[in-house]
Amino acid sequence: MALKGSTRRQRLRGLLVDLEPVKRDRDFRLLWLGQLVGGVGRQVTVVVLPLELWQLTHNPLAIGLLAIVQLVPILIFALGGGAVADAVDRRKLLLVTQICLASTSAALACLAFMPAPPLVGFYGVAFVAAGIGAVDQPTRSSAIPRLVPRERLKAAIAVNWLSFQTVAVVGPVLGGVLAAVAGVAWAFVFDVATFTASIAAALLISPIPPHPDAARPSFRSVGEGLRFARAKQIVLATFVIDLDAMIFGMPSSLFPQLALTVFNVGTAGYGLLNAAPAFGALVGSALTGWTSHVRRPGRGVAVAVAGWGAAIVAFGLLADSFPLALLCLAVAGGADVISAVLRATITQTETPDRLQGRVMSIHTLVVTSGPRLGDAEAAAVSAIAGPQFSVISGGVLCLVGLAAALRLFPQVMSYEVPSREQASEPADTIATPETVPH
């Protein structure tokens, strides 16, 4: 009996996210904890800023304009930010971006405390913050392979996603409470305060100097990252598959219409529609321990994206059962985070250190633009054929697009992670643009 109980516990531990990188790798632990605390504050601002714009204008176009204002600097600065991350000490760059982001949150707080704050001020600060974030994100992601040994990279990526999903659930709830109890301005002040954790982490971790062969930031170095992503077919495939899932299968822009006209659950139901995918992703992140043992992550990505598309189709079909519809969204969120962990594992395993920042900047562009394009696609189809048809057709197109991507990139299903012996080799011997056939 004792042996059976021990076996069950071992199996359970195998399912749960592997926390070994947090336990054993000091610098990763510091960065992870700083990101966890600071990320909650950033999510508070993400929720509260649109609320402030609504309270000032009572015009939904003001919030739509905010999304455009934030997307533009990401498109402009993300690739260049990755090139900078590859050319400088990533620890110092993280310190700079965190201080700058804290300053933008402080500026938002100052605006919110004003009796009649100018709208252009909020948009201006949002533009600057999005540009800084476009540099911060690839820098942070590309630092992870330098903070953990290669054999714990997959576990570190999974733990990082657990942090991200925890923040995505806790931050919005806390932001709503702070805005209601203390006011919008004090919610921004809370964000500023949480930056002390991420700034302290950047001060305490060891330097992360650039690779000896790192190129100086330039259009040529940006082009090198793009050429690598294009030539390394398995990396390109992860970007294509993610874009397919997000453009066709992302129905979040339809949630207000679905809540009020299809499910008839009011604003509270709208909140639940937004929370369900994040909750599913949080549970999925907590159960990613098994992903560290996956030898063929490409197959896992295919299965996870197929699960995402099928769950979205089921969500669109369940107009008569709101609880089951929420369950489908939660399943979709869980499938999405599994796909994300496995895709990040492939990308960061196959990318040499000297190109990590530039390739992760492309990843930032994909994960940022995909959902926004998906919002536009879903809204356009809904205007023509209704929200349910938009959701169902999007899920079906996601599955069709996945099949096409797998046909175009057959190596996805056969890809295997490097063995322990290969993983111990320098990253640049695993994949470089020169060693990959065009």
- Highest-confidence range of 104-108, 354-358, 372-376, by mean pLDDT? 104-108
CA atoms within 13 A on the CB side of 426: 8
- Report phi then psi at 55, rounded to 5: -65, -30
pLDDT band for 423, please (50, 70, 90 cuts): very low
| Rounded-to-integer distance, Cα 52 and Cα 48, Å | 6
Mean pLDDT of 241-259: 84
Domain boundaries, the chain: 9-210, 217-438
User: For the segment 194-236, what is each residue's pLDDT rounded down to a tens digit?
Assistant: 999 999 999 999 999 987 776 677 778 888 888 998 889 999 9
Place of tokens 């302290």: 200
Whether pLDDT at 377 is above 60: yes
For position 165, what pLDDT does the model report? 80
pLDDT grade for 15, boundaries at 50, 70 and 90: low
Average pLDDT, the chain: 84
Residue type, 358: R
What's residue 436's pLDDT? 29
**Fold of the domain built from segment(s) 217-438:** Growth Hormone; Chain: A; (1.20.1250)
Q: Name the least confident of 232-236, 356-360, 402-406.
A: 356-360
Q: In the structure, what pLDDT confidence band is assigned to residue 379 with cuts at 50, 70 and 90?
A: confident
| Amino acid 432: pLDDT | 30
Q: What's residue 14's pLDDT?
A: 58
Nearest to 228 by CA among 58, 47, 438, 9: 438
Evaluate if residue 150 carries a pLDDT over 90: no
Whether 9-210 shares its CATH topology with 217-438 is answered: yes
The length of the chain in residues reads 438
Average pLDDT in the 85-107 region?
Answer: 95
Q: What gap in Å lies between CA 33 and CA 45, rounded to an integer?
A: 19
The reported pLDDT for the residue numbered 426 is 37
The encoded tokens of residue 148 equal 């953990």
pLDDT, tens digit, for every residue of 41-60? 998 888 788 878 878 887 76
In angstroms, the CA 325 to CA 331 distance is 10
The tokens for 71 are 């997307």
CATH topology of domain 9-210: Growth Hormone; Chain: A; (1.20.1250)
Query: What confidence score (pLDDT) does residue 244 get?
Result: 93
| pLDDT score of 6 | 55
Q: Which run of H or of E encompasses 7? A: helix 2-15
Extract the tokens encoding 346. 């492939």
Residue 173 has pLDDT above 80, yes or no: no
Side-chain-side CA neighbours of 3 within 13 Å: the count stands at 0
Q: What is the pTM of this model?
A: 0.73
For the chain, the maximum distance between any two Cα atoms, rounded to a whole number of angstroms, is 70
Going by C-alpha positions, the residue among 12, 347, 28 that lies closest to residue 163 is 28
